[in-house]
Amino acid sequence: MSSNSYASRSSRAFHVATHTLLETIRDRVFGVSILFCAMLLGAALVLSPLAAGEQDKIIMDLGLAGISVIGLFLALFIGASLVFREVERRSIYTILSKPIARDEYILGKYFGSVLTIVLNVLMMSVLYVLLVSLHLKTFHMGLLSAIYLIALELAVIAAFSLFFSVVSSPFMGAFFTLALFVAGHLARDILHFAELVPAQSGRMILKGITYLLPNLEYFNVKGMAVYGKPIPPDLLLFATSYGALYIVGILLLTMLIFRRKDLQ
Amino acid sequence: MIRVENVSKDFRSDFLRRRRAVVRDLSFEIRPGETFALLGANGAGKTTTMKMILDLIRPDTGSITIGGTDSRNPMARSTLGYLPEQPYFSPHLTGFELIRYYGALAGVGREMREERSRNLIRQLGLQGAENRRIRHYSKGMMQRLGFAQVLISDPSILILDEPMSGLDPVGRKEIRDVLLAQKEKGKTILLSSHILEDVERICDRAGFLVEGRMEEVVETMPAVAPRRREDDAPRDVPSLERLFVEHVHSRYKEKIAE
Ligand SMILES: Nc1ncnc2c1ncn2[C@@H]1O[C@H](COP(=O)(O)OP(=O)(O)O)[C@@H](O)[C@H]1O
Ligand SMILES: [Mg+2]
């Protein structure tokens, strides 16, 4: 049966992805996030009267942090609303009544949200690179590596966000994802903290949870990049495999749960 | 064409997590080319039954096949269109984009999608609105769009949940004409409705759902009851309304009396 072929099955996920992209970039949130980024960088421009030395670095650092945080909020918003809103608004009924498997739907939604986030990061990065190269005149390739890792981290966050969106409500989903972001960046600190917990069981639980969480600091090379240090390729390779592993794992879990869900 | 066998479904209400049987040991069959109506009071389980056929809700027990394929296989829906109660679509897409999108999901080729979308927009009276975002659509336009996404794949099976509810008489007539045209083409149709007059006019058979059970299947619609011979008096076929009152209201009276 031709409609059962691999090509047409993956093309269904592709159509879900492209339409998710279309829907999310038409949502107000997308425009607002770009506007926000432009304002942030504009402010940096105004507030740095021919900055030199350390001040350059602060602006470069803040710019990267801005891209990361704005991207995070977009990922939170999209992830939280993606599936849940379609269930709540019942538009998912007609989509899943077509010959599309639930797994394909989840894949499509995930890649749609990643496409949106990548596009968003790309647009913000153009503004950022313009600021850094034209105004500060301190552009170098390490900044692009840093931006790549920010996008990768956001792709990991988007997978978790989709997962939470399937198992809970948009509000709780956004809350859990935010908590994951914070805990993921503090993973090492939490481990240190765990050592201080007196109760053996409490220590084990805390450690267990921390090992399940992704260590998001692997995606953070902002410091290195801002100081112009080269980003070692094996660090990029490691972070890429690490991120990919988490994405695949979380997506599989999401599919497994979504397969069993009653869409009442 | 569609075979529902011994299907049961409990819902857990959030409150106290009590289980409530919504569909109980339900069995029925929809034959190829026929138009079958699911009748019943609000909450009888019509929507749940349809959603189980579509694999949106999984039965606790029993099995469902569509054209011989297990309903859990997505390919069972390869030639099926579904119109939910009060359909809703992504507000950020335009009507035209949405119809083509659903066509793509249904596996319709690009050129065919394009051509059929344009035809459906015309047929369903959506011209002028097709390039507007769906969030500006009225309820009636949503219903037409709902029909467009059903028909985009020219499906051989149509599952329509209350397709005529919430429409004015003109809208109802238009939808009825669409249905009759589909019926004419030999499509298999399952619909739920409250409007018995429409059911009598369109449907071949009807099943009465009462509290998740199939109480009775009406094999012959009163309006088209055949006579055995020319000179025979019309057979005494009870009107749907009388059956509806018998099955549905009598239950209510019993309940109230309790
Ligand atoms: N999400 C749900 N959770 C719990 N009960 C539900 C849910 N949806 C429907 N029900 C109950 O299931 C029963 C059948 O509902 P439904 O299939 O929508 O009936 P109908 O379409 O015939 O009006 C109703 O009593 C309804 O209250
Ligand atoms: Mg209903």
- A11-66 tens-digit pLDDT: 899 999 999 999 989 988 888 888 888 888 888 777 766 556 677 788 888 889 99
On whether the CB atoms of residues B157 and B66 are closer than 8 A, the answer is yes
Greatest alpha-carbon span in chain A: 67
Identify how many contiguous H helices and E strands chain B contains and give both numbers: 8, 10
State whether ipTM is beyond 0.95: no
pLDDT score for B221:
74
Which whole-number Å values give the CA distances from B27 to A264, B24, B42, B86, B243, in the listed order?
Answer: 21, 9, 20, 26, 20
Which amino acid, residue A60? M
Q: Say how far apart CA B3 and CA B172 lie, in whole Å.
A: 29
Residue B16 neighbours by CB distance under 10 Å: 6
Let me know the angle formed at the C-alpha of A138 by A134 and A142, rounded to the nearest 5 degrees: 120
Which amino acid, residue B239? S
Does the CB of B57 have a partner CB in chain A at under 8 Å? yes
Cα-to-chain-centroid distance, residue B34: 13
Q: Which residue has the tokens 């038409």?
A: A26
| Residue range A192-236, pLDDT digits in tens | 877 787 777 888 888 887 788 898 999 998 888 888 888 899 999
Q: How far is the CA of B45 from the centre of ligand 2 (A)?
A: 7
Torsion on CA atoms B130, B136, B138, B142, rounded to nearest 10: 50
Contacts of residue B107 in chain A, CB cutoff 8 Å? 3, 8, 12, 98-99
Q: Say how far apart CA A175 and CA B94 lie, in whole Å.
A: 32
What is the pLDDT of chain B when averaged over all its residues?
87
Does the CB of A260 have a partner CB in chain B at under 8 Å? yes
Distance between B85 CA and the closest CA of chain A, angstroms: 9
Greatest alpha-carbon span in chain B: 63
Segment B186-215 mean pLDDT: 89
pLDDT score for B152:
96
**Which structure tokens are listed for A226?**
């801002």
Does the CB of B51 have a partner CB in chain A at under 8 Å? yes
User: Are the Cβ atoms of B89 and A19 closer than 8 angstroms?
Assistant: no
User: Are the Cβ atoms of A101 and B74 closer than 8 angstroms?
Assistant: yes
3-state class (DSSP) for residue B2: strand
**Which structure tokens are listed for B71?**
């309903």
Q: The pTM is what?
A: 0.89
pLDDT score for A117:
94
Q: How far is the CA of B45 from the centre of ligand 1 (A)?
A: 6
Per-residue pLDDT at B230 exceeds 60: no
Q: Which residue of B has its CA nearest to A89?
A: B88
